[in-house]
Amino acid sequence: ATMLKTLQKLVVSGDMVGEAIVPYYRQILPVFNIYKNCTKNIGDAIDYGQRRRINLGTLIGETLEFFETHGGADAFINIKYMIP
């Protein structure tokens, strides 16, 4: 979870940083694809861990959104190719 938060901060830290990470999507995204569905199904209960942002599936979704918005024109295509 800490690595995902660090990647999010890295992508938004500079103007071209998101685009500079795009060539490394082939190493990063297969691992995201494995763990993207690791979410808790708690029904209508309250997840108190939500404020600490420790749910792996949710963090991967947020990180992919950061990659998509800050990665430039080719980011969306690469993400959809690696994570259907």
pLDDT score recorded for residue 40: 75
Let me know: does 7 contact 63? Beta carbons within 8 Å: yes
Q: Which two tokens stand for residue 79?
A: 């993400």
What pLDDT does 41 receive? 74
pLDDT at residue 48, rounded to an integer: 74
Residue 46: its pLDDT value, please?
78
- The pLDDT assigned to 47 comes to 75
User: What CA–CA distance (Å, rounded) separates 48 from 21?
Assistant: 33
The per-residue pLDDT for 73 is 87
One digit per residue, the tens of pLDDT, for the chain of length 84 reads: 889 999 999 999 999 999 999 999 999 999 999 989 887 777 777 777 777 777 888 899 999 999 999 998 889 999 999 998
Q: State the Cα–Cα distance between residues 8 and 53, nearest whole angstrom.
A: 13
